């Protein structure tokens, strides 16, 4: 949500008043779009990474407040769970050696944060889901002590009216319940921002939706939850179920979940904000004093606070973002698909692949979303989450004959998408050496069929074969992961297993 929210009660009229303000905000957004008031693109990219805190034993540490106090940097902020942090990198121009520059900034910042965390027997672990998290760790008492998280939890629990149910059938099956949204905190991701003009927004968003599955297939890094081996990228089913305010009856009626892939290609950013109002009741009906239409009438730029707040409680995997910088409004596509980690190099490789591919596809004269049904993109996303690097995906056949065919994700990436991503990075003006280095990481993952998830699973099973019990094997896997993560070599080079008994 990103804004300071003060906890408090709401009466019956609050939601109606908030809904009226939301409609005014949506009308204001429409006017801004019609009047072409938005900023011209500066080719700006932004990056946020959610992190875990774990001790030298590999177990989670519920102490983000103490660690943040020691880090004492505005780049690092709290997140939902007490074992979470988030690092935010200031926007950079997408050109030249930006990926190497970002990598150096991240390495420096994370190394400093890790040293500070070590002072209280904690450490930074960049991973999709910490394998050693137990159900007892994800309870409301371990929510970060921040008003907006407490209030959001209270509202979502009240909206659901009963315990949240987790039921994920993967390699193994996990079934349990939770009285709070805290299990959502297990999901730690990378968020990639791209500022776009209104005229380009739909093409970029549609391209991002089309390739979400490919991002997950090559980048999966969350195969475990509560001691069970589930999907290769278990964050999406976990996030959906942990935030699902629909009781079973509403699910049976087809009411949309708040964590949502979407259901159609769009024609403008307005479509997405309008859907948010049409389908999702307000969770936090907090009205700002601003009158957005009057601000527009007076020649100003409205903050559209209600629209922004509501947008932050609809968890799309590619989210539209409205913001203001230096008094000028802008639009961003926020890509929320990727898990954190495994290393800074891997994060930068995932980012380079995304920014290059999304540009190439958005500028294609025969865009993939005109040739592929949205339902195929949705099915692809689930397949990639389930099977990771071994997924098979539906994609348009090359040539004018068209049609859809199933193809292994690794073959699709190596034969078709990596050359497109390279062309997209060239269009951004990325230095060829950086382009080749980071896309080469993606190519090697595909060639070796290795990503963070496959390494975790293989190492875990090696630990079981060595005689370790399940919990000890997960802890050994986590400790070894953290060790290799801080050494920094990309995950496709990591040796499977762990040295010696643990």
Q: How confident is the model at residue 15 (pLDDT cuts 50, 70, 90)?
A: confident
Q: What value, to the nearest 5°, has the Cα angle with vertex 439 and ends 479 and 320?
A: 85
DSSP string, 87-156: EEEEEEESSBTHHHHHHHHHHHHHHHHHHHHHTTT-EEE--SS-TT--GGGSSGGGB-S-HHHHHHHHHH
For residue range 76-89, what is the model confidence (pLDDT) as tens digits? 999 999 999 999 99
Give the mean pLDDT of 269-279.
97
- Cα–Cα distance for residue pair 124/166, rounded to 1 Å: 27
Instruction: Please report the pLDDT score of residue 13 as a whole number.
Output: 67
Mean of all residue pLDDT scores within the chain: 94
For residue range 245-266, what is the model confidence (pLDDT) as tens digits? 999 999 999 999 999 999 999 9
Instruction: Please report the pLDDT score of residue 25 as a whole number.
Output: 97
Q: For residue 8, is pLDDT > 70? A: no
Query: In terms of Cα–Cα distance, which of 191, 152, 188, 199 is closest to 40?
Result: 199
Give the mean pLDDT of 267-275.
97
Residues in the chain, overall count:
502
For residue range 429-468, what is the model confidence (pLDDT) as tens digits? 999 999 999 999 999 999 999 999 999 999 999 999 999 9
H or E, element range at 193: strand 190-196
Instruction: Please report the pLDDT score of residue 498 as a whole number.
Output: 76
Judge whether 367 and 202 are in contact, CB under 8 Å. no
Least confident interval from 3-12, 20-29, 125-134, 217-226: 3-12
Give the mean pLDDT of 281-285.
90
Q: How confident is the model at residue 41 (pLDDT cuts 50, 70, 90)?
A: confident
Q: How confident is the model at residue 48 (pLDDT cuts 50, 70, 90)?
A: very high
**C-alpha dist (Å) from residue 249 to 160, 195, 254, 255, 295:** 11, 39, 9, 9, 42
- Cα–Cα distance for residue pair 488/107, rounded to 1 Å: 9
- Cα–Cα distance for residue pair 160/157, rounded to 1 Å: 5
Instruction: Please report the pLDDT score of residue 500 as a whole number.
Output: 53
Give the mean pLDDT of 477-493.
98
Buried b (16+ CB within 10 A) or exposed e, 366-391: ebbbebbebebbbebbbbbbbbbbbb
Token pair of 241 as six digits: 């179920």
H or E, element range at 44: strand 44-54
For residue range 371-392, what is the model confidence (pLDDT) as tens digits? 999 999 999 999 999 999 999 9
Q: For residue 226, is pLDDT > 70? A: yes
CB contact set of 392 (below 8 Å; sequence gap of 6+) = 383, 406, 407, 408, 409
Token pair of 417 as six digits: 């998408």
Least confident interval from 10-14, 210-214, 270-274, 310-314: 10-14
Token pair of 333 as six digits: 């596509």
Instruction: Please report the pLDDT score of residue 166 as a whole number.
Output: 97
Instruction: Please report the pLDDT score of residue 4 as a whole number.
Output: 44
DSSP string, 236-280: HHHHHHHT----HHHHHTTPPPSEE--SS--SSHHHHHHHHHHH-
Q: How confident is the model at residue 11 (pLDDT cuts 50, 70, 90)?
A: low
> How many CB atoms within 10 Å of residue 42?
12
- The percent of residues in the chain predicted with pLDDT above 70, rounded, is 96
For tokens 């089913």, the residue is 237
**C-alpha dist (Å) from residue 87 to 65, 73, 191:** 14, 10, 11
Instruction: Please report the pLDDT score of residue 398 as a whole number.
Output: 81
For residue range 80-117, what is the model confidence (pLDDT) as tens digits? 999 999 999 989 999 999 999 999 999 999 999 999 99
Instruction: Please report the pLDDT score of residue 7 as a whole number.
Output: 42
CA 194 centroid distance within chain:
14
Query: In terms of Cα–Cα distance, which of 342, 413, 377, 44 is closest to 422?
Result: 413
Q: For residue 5, is pLDDT > 50? A: no
For residue range 138-159, what is the model confidence (pLDDT) as tens digits? 999 999 998 889 999 999 999 9
- Cα–Cα distance for residue pair 477/495, rounded to 1 Å: 12
Instruction: Please report the pLDDT score of residue 2 as a whole number.
Output: 38
Instruction: Please report the pLDDT score of residue 6 as a whole number.
Output: 46
Q: How confident is the model at residue 272 (pLDDT cuts 50, 70, 90)?
A: very high
For residue range 318-347, what is the model confidence (pLDDT) as tens digits? 999 999 988 999 999 999 999 999 999 999
Instruction: Please report the pLDDT score of residue 392 as a whole number.
Output: 98
Instruction: Please report the pLDDT score of residue 43 as a whole number.
Output: 87
């Amino acid at each position: 949500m990103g804004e300071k929210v003060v906890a408090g009660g709401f009466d019956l009229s609050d939601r109606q008043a908030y809904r009226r303000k939301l409609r005014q905000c949506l009308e204001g957004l429409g006017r801004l779009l019609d009047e072409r008031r938005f900023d011209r693109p500066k080719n700006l990219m932004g990056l946020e990474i959610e992190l875990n805190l774990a001790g030298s034993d590999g177990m989670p540490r519920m102490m983000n407040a103490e660690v943040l106090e020691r880090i004492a940097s505005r780049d690092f902020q709290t997140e939902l769970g007490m074992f979470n942090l988030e690092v935010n990198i200031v926007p950079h121009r997408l050109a030249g050696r930006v990926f190497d520059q970002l990598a150096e900034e991240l390495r420096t910042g994370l190394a400093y944060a890790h040293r500070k965390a070590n002072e209280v027997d904690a450490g930074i672990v960049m991973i999709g889901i910490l394998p050693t998290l137990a159900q007892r760790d994800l309870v409301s008492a371990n929510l970060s002590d921040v008003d907006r998280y407490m209030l959001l939890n209270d509202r979502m629990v009240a909206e659901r009216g009963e315990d949240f149910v987790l039921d994920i059938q993967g390699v193994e099956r996990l079934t349990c319940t939770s009285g709070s949204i805290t299990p959502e905190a297990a999901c730690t991701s990378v968020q990639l921002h791209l500022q776009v003009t209104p005229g380009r927004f739909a093409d970029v968003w549609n391209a991002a939706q089309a390739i979400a599955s490919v991002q997950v297939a090559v980048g999966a890094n969350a195969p475990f939850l509560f001691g069970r081996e589930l999907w290769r990228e278990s964050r999406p089913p976990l996030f959906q179920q942990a935030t699902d305010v629909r009781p079973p009856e509403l699910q049976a009626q087809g009411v949309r979940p708040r964590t949502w892939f979407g259901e159609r290609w769009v024609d403008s950013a307005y479509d997405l904000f309008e859907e948010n109002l049409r389908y999702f009741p307000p969770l936090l009906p907090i009205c700002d004093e601003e009158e957005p239409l009057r601000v527009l009438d007076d020649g100003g730029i409205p903050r559209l606070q209600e629209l922004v707040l509501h947008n932050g409680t609809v968890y799309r995997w590619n989210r539209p973002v409205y913001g203001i910088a230096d008094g000028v409004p802008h639009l961003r596509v926020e890509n929320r698909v990727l898990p954190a980690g495994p290393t800074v190099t891997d994060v930068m490789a995932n980012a380079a692949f995304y920014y290059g591919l999304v540009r190439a596809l958005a500028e294609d004269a025969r865009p993939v979303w005109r040739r592929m049904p949205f339902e195929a993109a949705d099915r692809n996303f689930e397949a990639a989450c389930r099977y990771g690097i071994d997924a098979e995906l539906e994609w348009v056949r090359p040539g004018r004959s068209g049609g859809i065919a199933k193809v292994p994700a690794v073959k699709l990436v190596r034969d078709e998408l990596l050359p497109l991503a390279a062309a997209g990075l060239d269009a951004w003006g990325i230095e060829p050496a950086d382009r080749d280095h980071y896309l080469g990481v993606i190519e090697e993952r595909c060639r070796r069929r290795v990503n963070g998830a496959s390494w975790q699973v293989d190492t875990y099973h090696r630990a079981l074969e060595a005689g370790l019990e399940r919990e000890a094997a997960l802890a050994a896997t986590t400790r070894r992961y953290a060790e290799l993560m801080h050494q920094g070599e990309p995950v496709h080079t990591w040796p499977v297993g762990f040295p010696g008994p643990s």
